[in-house]
Structure formats: C-alpha cells, structure tokens
Structure 1
Amino acid sequence: MSPQSGAAPRVAVLIPCYNEEVAIPRVVAAFRAALPNAAIHVYDNNSRDGTVAAAQAAGALVRREPQQGKGHVVRRMLADIEADFYVLVDGDDTYEAAAAPAMLRLAIEQKLDMVTGTRVTQDQDGAAYRPGHVLGNLVLTGMVRVIFGNRITDMLSGYRVFSRRFAKSFPALAEGFETETEFTVHALELHMPVGEVPTPYRARPPGSTSKLNTWRDGFRILGAILLLVRRERPLPFFALAALLLAGTGVVLSIPVLQTFLATGLVPRLPTAVLSMGLVLLAFLALACGLILDTVTRGRMEAKRMAYLAIPAPDFGPEAIYTGDPSGDQTSVGRQLS
C-alpha cells in the first residue's frame, strides 16, 4: 500500500545479534531514545549467552533465526518485517544511535533508497577501527567503486537505512558478513538513489568480543565481490579470461611457429596442441561472456521492474523524521546519486 502524503513513516530498527549480552541493552536503549516511535526488532542467531533475555528486558521485539550467519539473519528480517523505512545496525554498540534521525531525514527528504552511516573514529590506538579492517575496507571498497560505480565510500558499514522499495526488492543471497557488499552492489546495479551520513564509530563495550575475523572474512568478502563481478559483469569478466588464455596460447606457439617456418616440421607437437587448445578456450570464454551478458541484461530488467512495482514513499515535509523535540530538520548527509 502506498503511504499517504503527510503520514508518519513506519520505521523499524533491525538488530542482528550473536552473543551480544553485554552490548544489546545499550543498543536497544539508545535507539529507543533516538527513534521513540520506531519498532525495535532483535534477531538472535543462536547466541549461547543471555542475549535473548537481555534484549527482551530492554524492551525489544525478539525473534530467532537458526541458520548461522549474518546474511541469513538479514534475509529473514527484511522478509518478516513490514515498514516504510528500515534502520539496520549491528548489536555491538559501536555505532551512534543519535545519527539515525539524520539518516532517516536524508532518506525522506531526498527520496533515497539507501543511506549508509560512514564510520568516523577519533581513537588513535585503533581499538574501535583496527588498522587491518581500515585497509581491507579501503581495498574492497575501491574495487567495488571501480567496477560498479563511484558512489560509495564505506561499503562495509553495518549501519544503513533502507526504503521499503530497497528492502523488498533485495534478493539477499549472502550467508555471512559479505551481505554488506550485496547491499552496495544491489543499489549501484539498479542505479538507486543513495546517500551517506558520517557517524561516530567507537570500540565495543568491555566484555564484548568481535565476531569478525580480519583475514577469513576479508577473503570471503573478496570472493563475494569476484562472484558478483562474474554474475553482474560477465562480459568484462570472461573477456579478461579470454585475453589471458589467448595470450598464453600465443606465447607458447611462438617457438613452435618459428621451427615450422624454418624446417616445415612440428617437433613440439604437445606444445602446439596445448597452444591451440588455449586459443580455442579463449574463444569459448568470450562466447560465454557474450551470452551471459544478454542473460544478465534480462535479469537486470526483471529486477528493475520488481523494484518499480513497489510504490515509492511519499511523505510530506511535516513527516520528516527528526527524533529531536526541537524539530531541527537540517540534514547533515549528502546524496550520492
């Protein structure tokens, strides 16, 4: 149902959790204060501590997702919950809840489908944002910016605001922490209007431990990017493979060709067969890229039509979400579309 102009937007705060007994009460309380009219949903992902009891005691609506992994939880949350705007945030108390009204305000004012809370930290010791994570984010975000579009600066942020259009058209195929990569690529591929709001990023509270492994999850995210490139950019992907195969085949064939031109003989027959096979594989890879590029374009059109089938939110200026009794509606973010 399309919202009426001037109506208050329905906002849902979505918090995926795994063993966050220490942090989750603070997160729920902070978002209840920042967004007093929002419904706060905590999805527990097989926690072995008191996360569920702590979230319930803090006043959150608690559900469980038995399939392990953040991607599974996100998929379940976006499928279960009905709202006009969704605020997705990690349950580790590292993101600033006070930034949520500004993120929502930007989304409503500019009619954006995704607003990312870009992380800003003042910690000099790297406790909040470890150097390895900073470097990994720069490298992985840079790859996505080059391949899919230069409209994002913090691809791996776990703090987002989504429109209903985004949430209900997002396929959610990831299983783990690579789901943030999927968010970004989905928005860029469909040319959705997106924006960013800087938000403080702090260290976890004492007694809380990170579930993110720098190297293991970094390689998983890199693998997810490569799979997305193969799936969403098949022609450049297979054209590069074809170029490598053809180049290797040509290099291997040079001494064979020189001998043949000089003597009329082919003494290195295995090398000649190998080089010919590589060149044939190169043409096959290029043909696969051309075919899959057509298929991908059809898939993109279908996804775009599914996105457009969901009515766009239409809220009047009086419905701009501030979360601030003063009613200050000055936006601190920026649109990147």
Structure 2
Amino acid sequence: RLYKGLFGTDFTDIFSGYRVFSRRFVKSFPAVSGGFEIETEMSVHASQLKLPVSEMALDYGRRPEGSSSKLSTFRDGARILWMFAMLVKETQPLRFFGTFALFFLAASIGLMIPVLVEFAETGLVPRMPTWVLSIGMLLLAMLSMMTGFILDSVSRGRAEQKRIFYLSISSGRAERQAAGQALPKSEPGKAPRAA
C-alpha cells in the first residue's frame, strides 16, 4: 500500500525476490543499493519508466524445520523505508520538499499569529526572538518549495533521458520472439543480424 501510495503502480508483492528481466531493463537499470532494498529500487525504476511488468502467482513452500531466516525485521524494514524516502526524493522531489515546506509554513504561522495579535493590540513586538524564528521558518518553507520546483524539473529531464536510453537499447532475440515479431532469416553459415 505504501508503494502504491508513493509511486502509483499496483504491484501485489514488490518483495517477492524472484525476478525475470528483459535485456533492456538490465542495461538501463542503475543499481545503487546492494541489500534487500534493491527490490524496491527495481520496482521504482520500472514504475518511473512505465515499463511493461507482469506478475505470476507462485506457490511458496514453508520454511524447512530447523532453518532460520536471514532477514532482520527492524533493520531491513528501516533500510527499506529509508530507500523509499530516498527514491521519493529522487523521483518526486516536489512532493518530498513540498512536505517539508508545509511543515515549515505551519510552524511559521503557528509562531507568527500570537506575535501579530500582540502587535495589533499594543503596537509593540516584545517577543522579538519568536518573530525572528517565525520569519526564519517562513524563509525555510519558501526555500524548500523552490528547491522542490527546481529538482522536479531536473527529475523530469532525467526520467525522459532514462526512458530514451531504455528505448534505444535493442531488444534481444528472445524478447522479439516473445513479442511475436518476425525474426530475420539467416543465411547458412552466417549468424542472424539483430533488428
């Protein structure tokens, strides 16, 4: 549910651990993480580039008696949540920095209102540090929002480049056969040319 809420693609299980990749996917996927969270990264890559994905239901057997899992619930869960946050920052910076901007704006308004009410009643600003802090929070909100806008443009450009690169990679022979495309005939003694 968290993945669908953040990245909008409906996977039934992004942590299945068993994947089959096309040649294009492998050549275009810049793996950054090395642990359990790589499955999240692969799913986001497929979602961001709007790649065709299919899932197959598999019957998982029970863990054999006496065996132990290598997973650590809290450590691996924290690593995956951190990866979610970093991938949202990379792929949806406006949402990421906009959240911080809203937090800073709410804090700024919360600090500013009592000072403004007191100023309206007395004409004085006796709580100058609170006023300065509220203005600082307002500036942080504006800075955060501007950062989000700028990085959103950069992120869109990167996504377009990644998609163009993905499409520039020729699909493999097996992929074309699976897609039902006619393969070029090979002459005796010569290897077939890729289309």
Q: Fold-level match, TM-score > 0.5?
A: yes
Residue by residue over 1:209-262, the C-alpha shift from the partner in whole angstroms, topping out at 9 and shown as x without a partner, is 321101110111011001100110001111111111011100111110011011
Residue by residue over 1:76-108, the C-alpha shift from the partner in whole angstroms, topping out at 9 and shown as x without a partner, is xxxxxxxxxxxxxxxxxxxxxxxxxxxxxxxxx
Distance 1:260 1:200 in 2: 69
Residue by residue over 1:23-53, the C-alpha shift from the partner in whole angstroms, topping out at 9 and shown as x without a partner, is xxxxxxxxxxxxxxxxxxxxxxxxxxxxxxx
SS at match of 1:199: coil
Q: How does 1:169-248 map to 2 (within 5 A)?
A: 169-248=28-107
Question: Which amino acid is the alignment partner of residue 213 of structure 1?
Answer: S
Number of residue-to-residue matches in the alignment: 177
Match of 2:188 in 1: none
Give the gaps of 5 or more residues in structure 1: 1-141, 319-337
Q: How does 1:5-24 map to 2 (within 5 A)?
A: none
Q: Find runs of 4+ consecutive structure 1 residues off by over 4 angstroms.
A: none
TM (normalized to structure 1)?
A: 0.51
Residue by residue over 1:249-295, the C-alpha shift from the partner in whole angstroms, topping out at 9 and shown as x without a partner, is 00111110011011110000110000000000000000000110111
Question: Which amino acid is the alignment partner of residue 142 of structure 2?
Answer: F
Structure 1 or 2: more strand by fraction: 1
CA drift of 1:170 comes to: 0.7
> Residues 317 and 256 (structure 1 numbering): CA distance in 2 closer, same or farther, change over 3 Å?
closer
SS at match of 2:82: helix
CA drift of 1:181 comes to: 0.3
Match of 1:314 in 2: 176
Q: How does 1:1-337 map to 2 (within 5 A)?
A: 142-312=1-171, 313-315=175-177
SS at match of 2:57: strand
CA drift of 1:203 comes to: 2.6
Question: Which amino acid is the alignment partner of residue 314 of structure 1?
Answer: R
Give the gaps of 5 or more residues in structure 2: 181-195
TM (normalized to structure 2)?
A: 0.86
Match of 2:183 in 1: none
Match of 1:135 in 2: none
Distance 1:304 1:208 in 2: 43
Question: Which amino acid is the alignment partner of residue 143 of structure 1?
Answer: L
Distance 1:248 1:168 in 2: 45
**Aligned-residue identity in percent:** 51
Structure 1 or 2: more helix by fraction: 2
CA drift of 1:153 comes to: 1.0
Question: Which amino acid is the alignment partner of residue 222 of structure 1?
Answer: L
Distance 1:205 1:255 in 2: 64
Cα root mean square deviation, aligned: 1.5
